[in-house]
């Protein structure tokens, strides 16, 4: 097995066993971990405080206790997060940061205080109109407040130089990931849909500096040369040309501005983010962004993975669906849930979609 295949296998195993991966990261780095709820948290500030940001994106688990705090119609990612928390999976976390993008996240902030009083909560509110001066000023103040909370937890003062050093590590990470997703498109046999997802996911449970170096090695080698929904895509010979997923490319696709302090650069990345359902846009640019993405990558169609009961995503879908249909782009809509056990119906629909595109 080649070196990069060994590295890919290692990252896949990390993604499939996040609890073990986080414990290993804490042990090897000597740093404490901070949980980061979806969708955007200021990881650079966490890292600057000498702490490790850990992504909290739910997972497949039997829901026994979460119903005490969240109704059945709430997003399965959030229900899984609460279930894991009550089971003690997140007991190693020093604190959690929860951004309040939707009604469910707002509820979790209050429920967390009751359900997990032993793990401190840092709520974060993003401005609705982030493109106006008042919204930008508010965002700066909110980032400064989160910085102060993290300083209390870490017991240190985060200096400007510490912030800048952390920001540069994340800039290198974002640049490396932008290169990786482009290379993955050109090497669909080595990086199939499932492997692509797991490699990206592993970064949420590792020190970003170490993770970035591993991805750089994979990128360099590529240039030189469990049953789940994405296995269905690999089986049907579908490669991912590009993505607009919250857990994946949305985290790094926005290029940082060069001007301003580090906190201002972090804020600008949110201000400049386009096409994200969770960040308010009057003009609704997502549809055209997807059309441009299809043209640029010469993709044959678009697959929409719709997380069940995700209201922000569901409200926007009819808008960009119509735009894609007018552009003549084949579209497959798949409603998913983290507790889904059978993929037979999905596989049938994927097979039909492939035949239609052919």
Residue with tokens 């800048």: 164
Q: Give the integer Cα–Cα distance in Å for 169 and 6.
A: 24
Domain membership flag for residue 186: no
Residue closest to 311 by CA, chosen among 288, 278, 282: 278
pLDDT in tens, 221-254: 877 754 456 667 767 777 888 999 988 999 999 9
| pLDDT of 177 higher than 70 | yes
pLDDT of 341: 66
Range in 61-75, 228-242, 273-287, 289-303 with the lowest mean pLDDT: 228-242
Q: Give Cα separations from 357 to 110, 257, 301, 302, 329 (angstroms).
A: 47, 39, 7, 11, 10
Instruction: Count CA within 13 A, CB hemisphere, residue 271.
Output: 19
Domain membership flag for residue 119: yes
CATH code, domain carrying 94: 3.40.50.11890
Mean pLDDT of 43-72: 90
pTM of the model: 0.85
Domain membership flag for residue 88: yes
Q: Which domain holds residue 103?
A: 29-158
Q: How many domains does the chain have?
A: 1
| pLDDT of 340 higher than 90 | no
pLDDT in tens, 131-172: 899 999 999 999 999 999 999 999 999 999 999 999 999 999
Domain membership flag for residue 101: yes
């Amino acid at each position: 097995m080649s070196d990069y295949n060994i590295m890919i296998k290692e990252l896949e195993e990390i993604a499939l066993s996040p609890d073990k991966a986080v414990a290993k990261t804490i042990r090897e780095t000597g740093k404490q971990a901070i949980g980061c709820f979806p969708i955007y948290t200021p990881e650079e500030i966490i890292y600057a405080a000498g702490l490790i940001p850990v992504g909290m994106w739910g997972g497949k688990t039997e829901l026994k206790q979460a119903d005490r705090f969240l109704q059945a119609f709430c997003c399965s990612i959030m229900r899984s997060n609460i279930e894991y928390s009550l089971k003690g999976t997140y007991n190693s976390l020093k604190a959690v940061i929860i951004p309040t993008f939707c009604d469910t996240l707002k509820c979790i902030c209050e429920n967390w205080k009751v359900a997990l009083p032993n793990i401190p909560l840092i709520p974060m509110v993003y401005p609705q109109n982030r493109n106006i001066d008042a919204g930008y000023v508010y965002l700066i103040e909110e980032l400064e407040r989160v910085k102060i909370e993290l300083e209390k937890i870490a017991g240190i003062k985060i200096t400007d130089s510490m912030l800048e050093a952390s920001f540069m590590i994340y800039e290198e990470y974002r640049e490396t990931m932008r290169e990786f997703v482009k290379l993955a498109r050109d090497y669909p046999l080595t990086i199939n849909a499932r492997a692509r997802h797991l490699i990206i996911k592993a970064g949420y449970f590792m020190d970003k500096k170490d993770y970035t170096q591993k991805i750089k090695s994979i990128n360099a080698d590529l240039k030189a040369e469990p049953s789940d929904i994405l296995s269905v895509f690999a089986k049907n010979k579908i490669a991912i040309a590009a993505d607009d997923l919250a857990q994946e490319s949305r985290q790094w696709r926005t290029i940082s501005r060069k001007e301003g302090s580090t906190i201002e650069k972090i804020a600008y990345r949110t201000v400049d983010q386009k096409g994200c359902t969770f960040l308010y846009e009057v003009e609704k640019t997502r549809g055209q962004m997807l059309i441009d993405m299809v043209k640029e990558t010469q993709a044959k169609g678009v697959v929409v993975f719709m997380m069940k009961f995700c209201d922000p995503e569901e409200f926007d879908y009819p808008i960009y669906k119509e735009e894609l249909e007018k552009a003549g782009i084949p579209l497959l809509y798949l409603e998913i849930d983290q507790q889904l056990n059978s993929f037979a119906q999905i596989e049938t629909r994927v097979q039909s979609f492939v035949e239609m595109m052919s």
